[in-house]
Amino acid sequence: MGGQACVLYGAAEFSRDIDLAILAGPANLSRLRAALAELRADVIAVPPFELKYLRKGHAIHFRCQAPEVSGLRIDVMTKMRGVDDFSKLWRRRETFRADDGTPYHLMSLPDLVSAKKTQRDKDWPMIRRLIETDYFAHPEQPRTRHLRFWLLELRTPEILIEVALAHSALCQNLTKSRPLLEFAASGNETALIRALLDEERSEREADRRYWAPLKAQLEQLRHARLGAK
């Protein structure tokens, strides 16, 4: 669900860690613990690796010590802002296979884009690249699902205007869901750029509000851990 997924979707060249979305249940966490034990992965920050924190929306952070993956960081989550629950993510997943046949299950591209609408500066250029890569991968006769995705998520003004003008009826139908499509449909690039920035600021602020109580809880856990030493 993170940088490795972006690599496989063709929007990034490398990633230093692995981010996983998991089904948070006792049996699945038992399997995950066994896998992490093989990697000699230890929790490196708060919160501790417990089901209740995953279900609240926290990420659990690990650092691997096994020689073949020494230093690799793994982050695990099960609940994210603006993203459906795991069962729906799993049904919509994309599966890539390595040369040896090993399957890698990725969040669908729309779900990955939703998960990356955070307050972090690095995520917004990646969102733009993910959608641009998908757009240029379907140069002829894109399906309606592609067009809907591009109209609802594109962040490149000139491409968004191009799609809006070429598919005006669909664009009009989606304007209620994304009002800035009015500027794309009229070819008003200046107004569209401003609206895209406003849209990004709104998402960043929503993410800040979402994380505020979670960060407060993390601070409490840090203080409790320091007091116990």
CA-based Rg of the chain, rounded to a whole angstrom? 20
pLDDT at 228: 67
Torsion, Cα of 28, 90, 77, 201 (10° steps): -170
For the chain, what percent of residues have pLDDT higher than 70?
A: 99
pLDDT (0 to 100) of residue 227: 72
Per-residue model confidence (pLDDT) at position 139: 82
Residues 52, 42 contacting (CB under 8 angstroms): no
- 36: tokens are 């992490």
Between CA 9 and CA 128 the distance in angstroms is 13
pLDDT tens column, 207-228: 999 999 999 999 999 988 877 6
Residue pLDDT, tens place only, 122-166 = 999 999 999 999 999 998 889 999 999 999 999 999 999 999 999
In sign, the C-alpha dihedral spanning 198, 10, 103, 64 is: negative
**215, 59 contact by CB (below 8 A):** no
Q: Is the pLDDT of residue 45 over 80?
A: yes
- pLDDT for 16 equals 83
Kindly report, residue by residue over 64-103, the tens digit of the pLDDT.
999 999 999 999 999 999 999 999 999 999 999 989 999 9
pLDDT exceeds cutoff 90 at 188: yes
Tell me the average pLDDT across 168-175: 98
Residues 36-65, mean pLDDT to the nearest whole number? 95
Q: What is the structure's pLDDT at 229?
A: 62
* 3-class DSSP state of 106: strand
pLDDT, one tens digit per residue, over 17-28 is 999 999 988 999
User: Which whole number is the average pLDDT over 180-197?
Assistant: 98
CA distance 90 to 139: 28
Q: Please tell me the least confidently modeled range out of 6-20, 39-53, 68-82.
A: 6-20
The amino acid that residue 125 corresponds to is: P
